[in-house]
Structure 1
Amino acid sequence: MCAANSMLIASELKSSYSFQTPQSWLEVLVDFPGSPNTENWEEKLFIYSVPSDLSIQPGDILSVPFGSQVVGGIAIRFVKSLPENLTEDRIKEVEDVVTSGFFPPTYWELLNRVAKYYYTDLITVIRVALPPGLLGKSQRRIRLKSESIPNGAENFCNHSAQEIIALLKSQSRGDYSAQHIYSKVRNAQRGLRDLIKRGWVESYLEPPQTIRPKHSKAITLIIDNFPPDLTDKQREVIEVLRRRGGELWFNDLLQISKISSSVAENLAKKGYVVIEQREKLRFLSQPQALKDTAKKLSPSQTEALNKIQETTQYSQILLHGVTGSGKTEVYIQAIAPLLEKGQSALVLVPEIGLTPQLTDRFRARFGNKVCVYHSELSDGERYDTWRQMLTGEPQIVIGTRSAIFAPLPKLGLIILDEEHDSSFKQTQLIPTYHARQVARWRCELENCPLVLGSATPSLETWVNIQENTKHAYYLSLPERIHSRPLPPVEIVDMRRELQLGNRSIFSRSLQDALHNLVEQKKQGILFINRRGHSTFVSCRSCGYVVECPHCDVSLSYHYTHDGATELLRCHYCNHNQLHPRNCPECGSPYFKFFGSGTQKVTQELTEMFPNLKWLRFDSDTTRTKDAHRTLLNQFTKGEADVLVGTQMLTKGLDIANVTLVGVVAADGLLYHSDYRAAERAFGTLAQVAGRAGRGEDPGKVIIQTYSPEHPVIQAVRHHNYQGFLEMELPQRESLNYPPYGKLILIRLSGIDGVEVQHTAEILADRCIEMLGSMGEVLGPAPAQIMRVARRYRWQILLKFDALSESLLKNLQDLKNSCPASVKMAIDVDPMSID
């Protein structure tokens, strides 16, 4: 047995076939003990032979021998021949199939597509798809099922099976690791197979030590009538159990009945109830949602719903609805009939902060059929939620980017809400997948529709829908529900404010609007593109700027409240240091804070509007679990007049009492050295403007800018998405940028800046040879921020018309030739190139 070739599973591989011939070699991803930080997961692929009496499919979870242990593994693929350095006598047999169908056939194909398209080894994709820890140090265990064994029947089993039963009975829980059984019983493999076939024992893979099933006491009523020997307290317990269906969690019973545990335990001694340990699945705790019924739809909503419901096969559907047009209600009513047919639905949102409001609406309609899956759940919650999906019960999964890999076996619909949002693209880790692209593949494989909802669709989606006439539909919701008007947008020229002597970050118009909020008992939202207090700190005497020692960026000033420690923080590597009292360069005590962040805005609010209550909503204030829900609940209940935040509050918030939206500094969105800057700015401003006036009262939007004549600002002012398209698309087409051309960004980084630059120059020359007339190479060039976390960064941009098989192979060879000291990452379809 040795490490096997790590090439990807061929795309034509169908997981439905299995080998039962005498010679079948199987590549297995082995869950063997080792460093959890190992990056080279290819080294965990090993070859095993398949016993003739086992039927195995790729994706099955197996138990395999590894050294002196029996460990878990995943069946990866069958191979027809052995590597040259491996002989048959060194190959061990697969022990058993622990779980079959863990990866549905189409799911396995999906992982292969992701690996191939994003230049990532399959094992890394599997790690991303599975919940954390599932491929850790798990072990196969055997559990006795005493109730399934007829009296005396074990005497007719083979000798090894009898020994296994006796061994399991000697343990109070009747549960041992397979490794322990193999060490105690001769020919244990034969005995176990016999017992498993009879259903007298069960084999399961125990999760890693960091993620264990949670067990709690449960109490079950086993009598129908009230026996005469009951005390009043015991009678009350039985009555509660009868009203609750005959069983409850033990702690819930104690809380409801307000009794001591001894009352229930005495009932168990009398044989009237059974108290036992049971597994209790961990799900995200959520408040009870008020029941809701389907809303009456507008004509355009009805037309959109009918089209979605009549589309039962793979198609892409763009639901283009202005903010407040009722897209969520269309989603909900489209999903309802799917659940009745036994199918499931997957709803993706760009930010974790959006899940509370959306989840509450879905749970009000569908109850406990809704579950949440995202990265802020605990490992145990993610593990149990994952297992719940595998049951095949019709359900709705709401989650962020990673939920696209949720293993729903009967998928009837995928919805990407706010599909234009860049948060759907993974940028920090590999694979650098885009959830929208993966959703397309998954819907194609599952043969179900994909709904892409947005008020400001991405240009890729817009062009794709317009050009793809066979499997694409455009649905429009052109007006808000109840015909409410879109809020008027006022553009304030901050140059004029300065000329008139207003040096505040709030224009006179925004000040007046904020004053009116309290009087009118309404609420407002203030959007600022940066968290923190100020964007940088500079000495007014010598001009020295305090910079991060690890990155080529200035430090931002953070000051949360009066009396708090004044900190300087890097928003790239999270370096922190105390704010110096004197300039490190010239000793001057005069520092000036430039720019504004969320903290600066709230500080100014407190000084100018002492009666105005505010809440801050950014990544600094939402780090803790459930912080998103807590802050939004406080604001919705009217505990604050103004919500101050960053990008988080531009998406999906639907709060009826918000009548004012203020954009404090729009210019921070407009000027970036990135071809998507205009699209990103328009989408952000249009989305945040759409938070106003969603209730009975009309809304108002005030955008402060030093560039009021900018085309993006003018398009937002008139809510003119079509006008923005007519301006932006010709520029993209002339330069062959997406959606018309394809991009691949090669990122290089390392500790030695000279070596990184030299490597980039060599690889750029190879890229020019590789592409030839197929496209063009831009670079190499240093990244806009050249050094982050002490690593120097260079990049190469490849621009071409279509992705070809030859280009895929050449890029993989390029990656393999990169020096070990220089890290190379391939970002397909990058969202940013600055």
Structure 2
Amino acid sequence: MESNQFSRFHEVYSEALSCYSAQMVDRVEPNTAFTSSPTKAVMCVAEETKLYQTESNQQQWVEVLVDCPGIQGLYTYYLPTDLIVNPGDIVSVPFGAQIIGGIAIRLCYTPPVDLELSRIRPIEDVITSGFFPQSYWQLLQQIAQYYCSDLMSVIRVALPPGLLGRSQRRIRLKLESIPPGAETFCSVVAGKILRLLQNQAEGDYSVNYLKNQIKGAIRGIRELNKRGWIESYLEPPRPIQAKLKTAVTLINDNFLLDLTSRQGEVLQILKNNGGEIWLTELIQLCRTTPATVKKLAQKGYVTLSEREILRKEQGIAQPQDIPKKLNQAQAKALASIQNLTGTAQILLHGVTGSGKTEVYLQAIAPILAAGKSALVLVPEIGLTPQLTDRFRARFGEQVCVYHSALSDGERYDTWRQMIQGEPQVVIGTRSAIFAPLPNLGLIVLDEEHDSSFKQTSPIPTYHARKVAQVRSQLENCPLILGSATPSLESWEQINHLPVENSEFYYLSLPERIQARSLPSIEIVDLREELNRGNRSIFSKSLQSALVQMKERGQQGILFIPRRGHSTFVSCRSCGYVVECPHCDVSLSYHYTHEGATPLLRCHYCNYVALQPKQCPECESPYLKFFGSGTQKVTQELNKLFPNLKCIRFDSDTTRTKGAHRQLLARFAAGEADILVGTQMLTKGLDVAGVTVVGVVAADGLLHRSDYRAGERAFQTLTQVAGRAGRGEETGRVIIQTYSPEHPVIKAVQEHDYVSFSNTELQQRAELNYPPYGNLILIKFSGVEEKQVQQTAEIVAERCINLLSSQTQILGPAPASIMRIARRYRWQILIKFATEEKEQLPDLNQLRSLCPQSVSMVIDVDPMNID
């Protein structure tokens, strides 16, 4: 049974957020910001480790970094005599007419000289404390600086949802004060608000809701408030509630004659189970009812108590696993890792199926034995089930999962137990890099090349690899970057190091485990298929491979870059393409099932429309579907091979919680012959029965307007090819393309990463693209096209004045997709040499040039610039 060690933590947090009340005022100014910069103040956190307590004869003030939309700065509050505050504590403070969360930065014995004492308000309460060690604060600060972001945005990414709460101003009717026919005595706006409240069962709405529903609602609220017909109040922030479970504890094992035979049986079973058990389990074991147990409590034999239990991702119970025997390359790599002390960066370059995960497992075992923890990051949520199962089979309950697909309660409780410092392995996606593990002994980035490690929204636009590198140095622990196709940044860093550098290492796993061969790769020219009269999306070679696979009782994977049925719908008479009304992209056709209503969907804003029966432009009935997605491949596969059972694995079929695990478990159990999917299945999938992999359309990866297109295409094709032949049977890969002569296709066919990377790096060097140069992409968006363009031009002009003549400023120019979700998009690309990084001015000053109606994002080291 889980202990109750976290109950006090939650009790303090809940009580702090449940006791707030306030009166609405028309306009209440927050405290005036203290003049020192947030950056300078935050650095003091590392220096001030002493616990401060207010003495009765000396007043203290606290500088707080507030969490409020549109506000970033330090605000001074005074410390009540009954509170204890430590730098780094999360506190609740009054801010205007609401109560919000903030971070205590430092304490002062004198207030700011330019701030009237009467305007300084008190800290309300301490929500929680003690989980921000010195290195953690330094990590957040460095990431904020590197990615040109405000510190609070980094803190919001690092903390679990619900920890920093915000109160909400609400309005409710005072029914006893409203006269009959009140609507006739007030303005039109006030009357609308009154009717809206009267039609609601409790006569209660938030101010934000009223503002969204009624234009000029604030004037109406003030009028109704002056008449005394409504009242305003602050609804406290709603913290995530602890999950409670009833425990039964035996307190008297001297069984007397007042017991029935059934009650005696229940007590005996309780005694045999150690004298304490969950009520639900006791009822199940005894096949009894809660009433029986409650009668035993009334007689004084047991007590019933509510205990908090931690909500964590519950995997499937795994049989105990033992370390595998390593081959020579694995053993050499493991020995090198275990000999490292302190900070170090290791590139573990292993071909697909070379046993990188087993090296991770055996490297982590002594870390846990030493009382430290390990952090393992994967790029996709879909990769966590298989990896978690392997880790739990080895380390049991010491393994936990942390990613955005967990419920808020699960993330909150997992985060809370991590700060306790117990040795454990945390497996998660990019946000888990901020997991608050006090004794971190090792960080692993599996598939380190994957672009999913880069955050695109919201800010900060961090890359988990960069954060891991910073954290490795601060925590003085090794970082392993594992991949079969390393990113060119990692490859260049390792291969051009000075000989005396002792913090970077290259370890190679050049062969598959048990000396299994890499799969053979066949390239099919789709132009020749058309010349032979084959108009199917499956080449003759792929069809033959699928038939043979079925006959041998084996399994296969079909990869297609896009989900949905068809890429776009076009009129064959006039060429009209059905487009999204909110974005400058075509709508994709989605097929659900036979006889279902045909739907068109936008993959950018999720707009959905019925498929027109005739062309909206010329009214022609001849509409044709172009392109192929996972739905169409599955549909065609069922028509051509009705005896093949297939599972579709893409973002449409994995929306529900646990869908990744369920679909992969079904496939691994042999319930399907074919797994059809997108990039989600190209990495980490290890099913021994898979012998055939088909890439239906490789051209969708090759021809993209981005300097990373070649690198991504090589990585994706190599990774998906690596899913084949992981068992006893040799794998076979068939890549269909209209460009068989493309250098990426040639390199994939030869399994030649080195020659591909050398060619690609040479092209990058000539154009001064990463890893030889640095990029910063400044992105603008807004609903008014002209205003967005003008803002971009103003910022570009300021950049020219701010930056050196050696820095290239490209743009401003419209984004490749100019409009998404009714918002117009422009951008500026800044290119500069690596050595100029330290001389760049603070780009955050550009934000002052941006009106509130235009959003500006500074994306440092962007992965996409199209």
Q: TM-score, normalised to structure 2's length? A: 0.84
Answering whether residue 288 of structure 2 is matched by residue 252 of structure 1, we say no
Measured in 1, the distance between the counterparts of 2:494 and 2:159 equals 32
* 1:265–1:789 distance in 2 versus 1, CA, 3 Å: same
Kindly report the root-mean-square deviation, in angstroms, between the aligned alpha carbons of the 2 structures: 2.5
Contact 2:772 2:834 in 1 (8 A): no
Shift in alpha-carbon separation, 1:687–1:656, aligned structure 2, 3 A: same
Choose from 293, 296, 299 the match for 1:264: 293
Rate the CA distance shift 1:211–1:782 in 2: closer, same or farther, 3 A.
same
Range 646-655 or range 255-264, more displaced: 255-264
Q: Name 1:15's counterpart in structure 2.
A: 46
For 1:666 and 1:361, the matched residues in 2 are separated by 32
Question: 2:758: which partner in 1?
Answer: 726
Q: Secondary structure at the match of 1:772?
A: coil
Aligned residue for 2:423? 394
- The residue that corresponds to 1:26 in the other structure is 62
Q: Per the alignment, do residues 400 and 831 of structure 1 end up closer, same or farther by CA in structure 2, a change over 3 Å counting?
A: same
Match of 1:310 among 336, 339, 343: 339
Could you say what secondary structure the match of 1:102 adopts?
coil
Structure 1 CA distance, aligned partners of 2:61 and 2:165? 24
Of 787, 797, 809, the match for 1:755: 787
Q: Does 1:2 align with 2:31?
A: yes
After superposition, the C-alpha distances for 1:105-136 in whole angstroms (9 at most, x for unaligned) are 11111111111111111111111111111111
Which residue pairs with 2:363 in the alignment? 334
* Deviations 1:79-121 (CA, angstroms, capped at 9, x unpaired): 7975565123433455765533121211111111111111111
Kept after mapping to 2: 8 A contact 1:770/1:807: no
> In the aligned structure 2, how far is the partner of 1:809 from the partner of 1:822?
23
Task: Provide the rounded CA distance (Å) in 1 between the counterparts of 2:688 and 2:571.
Answer: 45
Q: How far apart, CA to CA, are the structure 1 residues paired with 2:738 and 2:457? A: 33
**2:394 maps to 1:358:** no
Report the 3-state secondary structure (helix = DSSP H, G, I; strand = E; otherwise coil) of the residue aligned with 1:616: strand
**Of 438, 451, 462, which aligns to 2:467?**
438
Cα distance change, pair 575–62 in 1 and its aligned pair in 2 (3 A):
closer
**What amino acid does structure 1 have at the position aligned with 2:534?**
N
| 2:629 maps to amino acid | G
**Residue in 2 that maps onto 1:470:** 502
Write the deviation string for residues 552-601 of structure 1: whole angstroms up to 9, x where unpaired. Answer: 11110111221122111111111100001111111111111111000010
Task: Tell me: CA distance 1:826–1:30, structure 2 relative to 1, closer, same or farther (3 Å).
Answer: closer
Find the aligned partners of 1:97 and 1:799 in 2 and give their Cα distance: 45
Alignment match, 1:319: 348
Task: Choose the corresponding residue for 1:551, options 570, 583, 588.
Answer: 583
Q: Which residue of 1 aligns with 2:175?
A: none
State how far apart, in whole Å, the 2-side matches of 1:339 and 1:734 are.
46
| Cα deviation 1:408-461 (Å, max 9, x = unaligned) | 111111111100000000012111010111111111111111111100010111
Which letter does structure 1 place at the counterpart of 2:544? D
Aligned partner of 2:398 in structure 1 is 369
> Distance between the aligned counterparts of 1:806 and 1:442, measured in 2?
20
Displacement, 1:54?
A: 7.0
* CA positional deviation for 1:72: 5.8
Aligned counterparts of 1:84 and 1:587: Cα–Cα separation in 2: 74
Asked if 2 retains the 8 angstrom alpha-carbon contact of 1:134 and 1:208, the reply is no
1:619-651 alpha-carbon deviations (Å, 9 max, x no partner): 000001101011111111111100000010001
Residues 364, 207 of structure 1: CA spacing in aligned structure 2 closer, same or farther, 3 A cutoff? farther
Q: Cα deviation per residue 1:49-90 (whole Å; 9 max; x = unaligned)?
A: 457897643212346577899976431345797556512343
Q: Secondary structure at the match of 1:497?
A: helix
Deviation at 1:23, TM superposition (A): 6.8
Shift of 1:692: 0.4
Maintained 8 Å contact 1:15/1:57: no
Distance 1:242 1:706, change over 3 A: farther
Task: Give the whole-Å Cα distance in 1 for the aligned partners of 2:264 and 2:84.
Answer: 53
Superposed CA deviations along residues 355-405 of structure 1, whole A, max 9, x for unmatched, are: 100011111111111111111111111111111111111111111011111
Supply the AA of the counterpart residue of 1:285.
Q
> Is the partner of 1:827 in helix, strand or coil?
strand
Task: Report the 3-state secondary structure (helix = DSSP H, G, I; strand = E; otherwise coil) of the residue aligned with 1:489.
Answer: strand
The amino acid that maps onto 1:286 is G
727-736 or 10-19: which moved more?
10-19
Compare 655-664 and 787-796 and name the one that shifted more.
787-796
- Matched with 1:480 is 512
Pairwise mapping of residues 221-300 of structure 1 onto structure 2 (< 5 A)? Answer: 221-223=250-252, 231-300=260-329
Any idea what SS the aligned residue of 2:825 has? Answer: strand
2:610 is the alignment partner of 1:574: no
Give structure 2 stretches of 5+ with no counterpart.
1-29, 169-234
Structure 2 residue corresponding to 1:769, chosen from 796, 801, 811:
801
Q: 1:211 aligns with which of 227, 240, 257?
A: 240
Deviation at 1:748, TM superposition (A): 1.2
**Identity percentage of aligned residues:** 65
- Distance (whole Å) between structure 1 residues aligned to residue 712 and residue 657 of structure 2: 29
| Counterpart position of 2:10 | none
Map of 2:72 onto structure 1: 42
Secondary structure of the 1:135 match is: coil
- In the alignment, the residues of structure 1 paired with residue 421 and residue 596 of structure 2 have an alpha-carbon distance, to the nearest angstrom, of 52
- 1:746, 1:797 within 8 Å by CA — same for their partners in 2? yes
Q: Assess if the C-alpha contact under 8 Å between 2:794 and 2:849 holds in 1.
A: no
Mapped partners of 1:341, 1:419: distance in 2: 26
Q: Partners in 2 of 1:3 and 1:74 — Cα distance?
A: 17
Residue segments in structure 1 that go unaligned for 5+ positions in a row: 32-37, 140-205
Write the deviation string for residues 210-239 of structure 1: whole angstroms up to 9, x where unpaired: 511111211123356766765544444344
1:516 is the counterpart of 2:552 = no
Query: Which residue of structure 2 lines up, in the alignment, with residue 449 of structure 1?
Result: 478
Q: Match of 1:773, SS?
A: coil
> Deviation digits for residues 679-733 of structure 1, max 9, x if unmatched?
0000000000000011111111000000011110011001111111111111111
Asked if 1:601 corresponds to 2:639, the answer is no
Higher alpha-carbon deviation: 460-469 or 324-333? 460-469
Contact 1:771 1:807 in 2 (8 A): no
1:493 and 2:525 are equivalent in the alignment: yes
1:525 corresponds in structure 2 to 557
Matched, 1:681 2:721: no
Corresponding residue of 2:136: 107
Q: What SS is found at the alignment partner of 1:398? A: strand
Structure 2: which amino acid aligns with 1:774?
Q
Partners of 2:341 and 2:427 in 1: how far apart?
21
Gap change, CA 1:728 and 1:81, over 3 Å in 2: farther
Out of 163, 166, 169, the position equivalent to 1:134 is 163
Residue of structure 1 in register with 2:86 after alignment: 57
The answer as to whether partners of 2:45 and 2:88 remain within 8 angstroms in 1 is no
CA distance in 2, matches of 1:67, 1:735: 51
Q: Is the 8 A contact 2:780 2:788 kept in 1?
A: yes
Residue of structure 2 in register with 1:385 after alignment: 414
- Measure, in 1, the Cα distance between the counterparts of 2:717 and 2:509: 19
Alpha-carbon shift at residue 320 of structure 1 (Å): 0.7
Report the equivalent of 1:661: 693
- Equivalent-residue separation in structure 2 for 1:51 and 1:819 (angstroms): 39
Measured after TM superposition, the shift of residue 255 of structure 1 is 1.9
For 1:263, the aligned partner's letter is: T
- Residues 316 and 465, structure 1, Cα contact 8 Å, conserved in 2: no
Give the 3 Å change call, closer, same or farther, for CA 517–135 of structure 1 in structure 2. same
CA distance in 1, matches of 2:691, 2:837: 53
Secondary structure of residue in 2 paired with 1:761? helix
- Structure 1-normalised TM-score? 0.87
Q: Partner of 1:679: helix, strand, or coil?
A: helix
| Cα distance change of structure 1 residues 699 and 789 upon mapping to structure 2, 3 Å threshold | same
CA gap 1:455/1:240 in 2 versus in 1, 3 angstroms = farther
